[in-house]
A and B are shown apart, each in its own frame.
Chain A
């Protein structure tokens, strides 16, 4: 099975604004690729262009060596001939057809004979565990079941490429957790290349093999989830991925307060680079006695928010408020003064691009 290649893809709805700007993206064969970004970043437009429901203003889209769109060469394959699967955010089940008929529809369009059609529909429905509701109508199903039927409808045609548009956003928290695991399983079982769109960074981190973060129609970073978490390419990615978000302190040009404190520590060690901002992940900000060389400062506790397995603490350090997450109980009350420290910082340059990490293992990397 082939890669999906987008090269130089742009989409404008007229008026000089671009929903997607000059996008180069390769989805490796068999990947579970997530397009992640805030609403309006062009991720859904990108997905719909891959499906053929929207047409690019420039660039080309290909699966393997089959060109689906090429503005330059005047090539276009309509959605119905692309043989992909697409699950819509609101499922888009056909209300006048039963679950079985919904799932059989794609096979019917492919002129698959009756008995085989039924068998394949049943297999698909079994795969998503709604085979019991086969003869009901979509309106008689719960949201989670509808979602599964929408998935089965696409799985039935055995697509090599399966596209999912915010598939979990209309489900409640419990079902969402369940469906995440389910989607991962289906990805492995079907072997399809999956591209899915979400604005939920947790969904991206937990499910995807590759994450592409987009902002204002531009690709910000393409990486494996943990790689992206550990080494965000720029300030935007750093702040968008992770919850609570990374605290970023501007340190240029003449830092005072917390910024000044951090800079003194960095300059003492790193010397060479000149960051304009320093980022600290909440779980990297520790409470208690610092080990030897780590940066440390006095912090006033403003609030403690216990969540069972973790404790989120809002701290005021000099002139700045930031969050720390601890996985051991925090025995402090508002107003207490603690020492906090970190040995992991992310340094960002003037254009917001990440310069390096600063921690004990990779000083000056």
Chain B
């Protein structure tokens, strides 16, 4: 028998000896080195741009020294003054801010009413064709958001802006400006794009509510209406607030729709204002605007997290009776089905067919002027900048190849980085590195894409240190696109690695496998599925991306989305519509196939 009495704490070896030992251990374990590399990359790609844009907002730029009375490079409040207090600040900031708020509120209400109603219809009632409706009503989300605005123009455009007038005007019905441009069309078109968000989030929450909770209230004597008011609605609050904030956040950073529908009537929002400031080369003002958008975006997400935490106590674990307690609509079944169908028709069929028809008719939607010229013609009379059908010439194909190449590479980088971040976090050899990676990789989520693109421009547009100016290079596009999609892929990477745990790798290590062998034979093969979804989801969303790339592309690096917007600028409506149709077709097909093949739900890609 051995009986041991020991001093409480052992005498620790000297610092130097421990360091020598630590280094010896690190030499055999590349995780730490990998973590360090990721930290440096993220600091440079995520944190540095934000610092750069902030410093640009407070440093006097070249060319402004006469107005501001300071030397270039000096610290200044000139841009703050210009944006918030000068004579033109109404035009620069306050009016766009007001417009942004109007659109955000309007779009949110629109999306809440349509999305919430449809969510209830497809999850809690016995409406005919429930399953089909649930799938069909998500389709608008698979189309680029400004598809709707182009369709709107094809219907309502008047002669105020250049290019061909819309269908109604062509029929001799004058469309007033408020119907053709500005707040109303923007709210409606954005609402039609974003209601699937609400549908998915609220639908999921509705599905998860345990019917036993409602039953208990019923048994205690509460009438149906009281049950909804006192039980269901309070339980839905987290999902509702999440949906609201998500939509507001997206609207804040959305560019395409306000650009297409707002600018012809000088209806400015923050995102288009930011874009114009950058086009006008007023870097200081643009930096202030970008900072404002970043701050609002951060506030929105922080509010969301805060609310979610407060509502955490509401989390209801679905019990036995969790699903499929459906209200019987009785004689309202078919009328409500009609309503659901109407929403589908208005949000999917009408825009898509309007666009399609507009590309095959000379006079909008007048089939007697049917032509395939806009797709196939060798030579289009009158179109100087793009003198042939979209499928002819090299523009579309170059842009498509660019999109495929740039977005594909960005997605690949994104997915691998996400998995590697997950790997470092789960290995947990360096807790501080893990915490940094986790938080910083999530940071771009807080920042509307257009503001992040502006921030990246601040950092990379000029040569800094050993790095040359990257503006206009595909490299910059790939980097920024990868970084903005990183929150989703790092989240899913961490989740996938967490689920796997450390043991499978440790087992391989024990069995004698080196780090490369473990990566090649164990980790990546097991995570194959996660890797594929990690590539495909950012790819689909990147293909439709406009807000980020519009800032960064030049004529040399045209993507499908920027090509389409460029055609809008020229007033070549049919050609622009044709390009958008191509994007919509690709993105819809890919989303559909992915959902079919991987059984992944679109909702998980929302990150909501």
Interfacial residues, chain A to chain B (CB-CB below 8 A): 8, 10, 18, 21-22, 24, 51, 53, 55, 57-59, 70-72, 74-76, 78-86, 88, 90, 92-96, 105-106, 109-110, 150, 153-154, 157, 218-223, 227-228, 231, 233, 353
Chain A residues, Cβ within 8 Å of B20? 74
Chain A residues, Cβ within 8 Å of B511? 80, 105-106, 109, 153-154, 157
Question: Contact at A86–B510, with CB atoms within 8 Å?
Answer: yes
Chain B residues, Cβ within 8 Å of A21? 6, 8-10
Chain A residues, Cβ within 8 Å of B508? 94, 105
Question: Contact at B10–A90, with CB atoms within 8 Å?
Answer: no
Chain B residues, Cβ within 8 Å of A80? 509-514
Question: Contact at B506–A53, with CB atoms within 8 Å?
Answer: yes
Question: Contact at A109–B513, with CB atoms within 8 Å?
Answer: yes
Name 23 A/B residue pairs within 8 A (Cβ), A-sorted: A10-B10, A18-B9, A21-B6, A22-B10, A24-B4, A51-B510, A58-B10, A58-B11, A58-B13, A75-B21, A79-B510, A80-B513, A80-B514, A81-B512, A83-B512, A85-B510, A86-B506, A90-B501, A92-B507, A96-B525, A153-B507, A218-B6, A233-B3
| C-alpha spacing A78/B515, complex, angstroms | 11
Top 9 closest A-B pairs, CB basis?
A92-B503, A106-B511, A22-B10, A109-B512, A74-B20, A78-B28, A92-B507, A76-B24, A10-B10
Closest to A59 in B: B10
CB-CB under 8 A for A71 and B8, given A92-B503, A157-B512: no
Chain A residues, Cβ within 8 Å of B525? 96
| C-alpha spacing A293/B514, complex, angstroms | 68
Most B CB contacts (10 A, CB to CB) among A74, A86, A150, A219 go to: A74
Question: Contact at A110–B512, with CB atoms within 8 Å?
Answer: yes
A109 to chain B, nearest CB (A): 4
Question: Contact at B25–A76, with CB atoms within 8 Å?
Answer: yes
Chain A residues, Cβ within 8 Å of B509? 53, 78-80
Question: Contact at A90–B3, with CB atoms within 8 Å?
Answer: no
Question: Contact at B517–A71, with CB atoms within 8 Å?
Answer: no
| C-alpha spacing A70/B28, complex, angstroms | 15
Question: Contact at B24–A75, with CB atoms within 8 Å?
Answer: yes
| C-alpha spacing A157/B22, complex, angstroms | 29
Question: Contact at B2–A221, with CB atoms within 8 Å?
Answer: yes
Chain A residues, Cβ within 8 Å of B7? 22
Q: Is B129 an interface residue (CB 8 A)?
A: no
Question: Contact at A55–B512, with CB atoms within 8 Å?
Answer: no
CB-CB under 8 A for A221 and B1, given A78-B28, A80-B513: yes
A80 to chain B, nearest CB (A): 5
| C-alpha spacing A96/B511, complex, angstroms | 16
| C-alpha spacing A96/B531, complex, angstroms | 15
Q: Is B504 an interface residue (CB 8 A)?
A: yes
Question: Contact at A92–B504, with CB atoms within 8 Å?
Answer: yes
CB-CB under 8 A for A71 and B13, given A57-B18, A153-B507: yes
Chain B residues, Cβ within 8 Å of A109? 511-513, 517
Chain A residues, Cβ within 8 Å of B3? 221, 233, 353
Question: Contact at B506–A223, with CB atoms within 8 Å?
Answer: no
Further contacts, 4 of them, CB under 8 A, given A55-B22, A57-B12: A10-B10, A94-B522, A96-B525, A109-B513
CB-CB under 8 A for A84 and B510, given A21-B8, A57-B18, A78-B28: yes
Chain A residues, Cβ within 8 Å of B510? 51, 53, 79-80, 82, 84-86, 154
Question: Contact at A55–B10, with CB atoms within 8 Å?
Answer: no
Chain A residues, Cβ within 8 Å of B512? 80-81, 83, 106, 109-110, 157
| C-alpha spacing A221/B124, complex, angstroms | 63
Closest to A88 in B: B503
Q: Is B590 an interface residue (CB 8 A)?
A: no
A113 to chain B, nearest CB (A): 16
Closest to B525 in A: A96
B87 to chain A, nearest CB (A): 58
B217 to chain A, nearest CB (A): 40
| C-alpha spacing A57/B517, complex, angstroms | 28
Chain B residues, Cβ within 8 Å of A221? 1-4
Chain A residues, Cβ within 8 Å of B29? 78
A129 to chain B, nearest CB (A): 21
A137 to chain B, nearest CB (A): 12
Q: Is B343 an interface residue (CB 8 A)?
A: no
B 8-44 to A, binary, CB cutoff 8 A, 1 in contact else 0:
1111110001101110110011000000000000000
B397 to chain A, nearest CB (A): 39
Q: Is B235 an interface residue (CB 8 A)?
A: no
Closest to B524 in A: A96
Question: Contact at A58–B513, with CB atoms within 8 Å?
Answer: no
A152 to chain B, nearest CB (A): 12
| C-alpha spacing A154/B508, complex, angstroms | 10
Question: Contact at A74–B2, with CB atoms within 8 Å?
Answer: no
Question: Contact at B1–A227, with CB atoms within 8 Å?
Answer: yes
| C-alpha spacing A18/B10, complex, angstroms | 9
B556 to chain A, nearest CB (A): 43
B141 to chain A, nearest CB (A): 33
Question: Contact at A231–B1, with CB atoms within 8 Å?
Answer: yes
Question: Contact at B517–A58, with CB atoms within 8 Å?
Answer: no
B 494-507 to A, binary, CB cutoff 8 A, 1 in contact else 0:
00000001011011
Question: Contact at A72–B17, with CB atoms within 8 Å?
Answer: yes
| C-alpha spacing A114/B92, complex, angstroms | 74
B506's partner among A24, A55, A88, A157 (CB-CB below 8 A) is: A88
| C-alpha spacing A175/B9, complex, angstroms | 41
Most A CB contacts (10 A, CB to CB) among B1, B18, B22 go to: B1
Chain A residues, Cβ within 8 Å of B4? 24, 218-222
Question: Contact at A92–B25, with CB atoms within 8 Å?
Answer: no
Q: Is B526 an interface residue (CB 8 A)?
A: yes
B302 to chain A, nearest CB (A): 29
Question: Contact at A76–B21, with CB atoms within 8 Å?
Answer: yes
Question: Contact at A72–B13, with CB atoms within 8 Å?
Answer: yes
Chain B residues, Cβ within 8 Å of A82? 510
Most B CB contacts (10 A, CB to CB) among A88, A110, A157 go to: A88
